Structure 1
């Protein structure tokens, strides 16, 4: 099924990212993913300057990687999916600027079920764990 939304629509890009990255983590997990993106938008850097450029930056949110099996799913999910309905509601709050940061300023995360933590993980940058994702603040002013 072809993509039916523009990759320039912040609401759709954010909701599909949250769903693609954390639909198995419930509302809190999807909110946390959106918070990491929101915190990147708040501190523009190499990863982008707005919702779409941050979430779609290559190799940052793995669900958008062309080789990730979640990509085909997120491109075709519809609002009939209850988890996507939740992702859309959370993304609406992100776009409106009313999403509450539950990650303590994190801009990065990884799935704790991976066999090895990424090289960028450092205890001093740790913020919290929500579901199976550990959140860190590693970007500009990462230790702030």
Structure 2
């Protein structure tokens, strides 16, 4: 039994290492198929309860995370767990905050900071990482 995502499923990003992470918009219905085993929800307020393990990061729409240290720790945890778990990263629209977080995971996976936004736009969504400060956050992420 596999515990990672189907690489052809909507919203699934393959990182250079082969790790699979799903990005999605919480304003849309949960996609059919497998559920996450772990998720990071990037929202200005606490999300509705879900049946799987998750973390909430206070991250208002079009902004940056409220606690950058906690965000870095949570992203490292998500990246590590994506080796053998179905990790989901999601915000309201699934583009700006989700794209920013996915670009940070790409950095953790070895993509140079200055290329991570382009990587996510090519392999996840063309409109990912919406604001200049989100792009700057990725270029400075460690």
TM-score band w.r.t. shorter chain: under 0.3
- The answer to which structure has the higher helix fraction is 1
- The answer to which structure has the higher strand fraction is 2
TM-score (norm 1): 0.25
